[in-house]
């Protein structure tokens, strides 16, 4: 199973496989053609409240990850997570985010959950 995390602003690469945008909002200044996104499952993204809480600097990354994992337990998110996991078992999946530090973002949490 290959799951990787990349910034959506980086040029697509052949080894990306299925490109999944995991941000709730479309990345600024990026056309749909340039992004080359195959899927955009918004139910896999952190809630607006959680995103705002984390970006306001009110909590640690570990607390954010814990709260985000709790949100992913909802039936709709769990179903989408399973679907992406099934895709990753067949071909590479690249989780795309506009976060400046993808390793400290929700995309890293998703990647870890997908590989568990």
pLDDT tens digit sequence for 64-100? 999 999 999 999 999 999 999 999 999 999 999 999 9
Mean pLDDT, the chain, as a whole number?
A: 94
Give the C-alpha separation, 89 to 100, whole Å: 28
Does pLDDT of 53 surpass 90?
yes
Quick one: residue 29, left, alpha or beta (phi over 0 = left, psi -120 to 50 = alpha)? left
């Amino acid at each position: 199973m290959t799951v990787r995390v990349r910034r959506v602003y980086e040029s697509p690469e052949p080894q990306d496989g299925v490109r999944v945008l995991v941000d709730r909002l479309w990345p600024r200044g990026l056309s749909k053609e340039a992004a080359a996104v195959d899927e955009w499952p918004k139910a896999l993204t952190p809630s607006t409240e959680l995103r705002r809480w984390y970006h306001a600097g009110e909590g640690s990354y570990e607390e954010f990850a814990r709260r985000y994992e709790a949100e992913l337990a909802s039936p709709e998110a769990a179903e989408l997570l399973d679907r992406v996991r099934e895709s990753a078992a067949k071909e590479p999946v690249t989780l795309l985010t506009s976060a400046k530090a993808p390793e400290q973002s929700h995309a890293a949490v998703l990647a870890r959950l997908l590989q568990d």
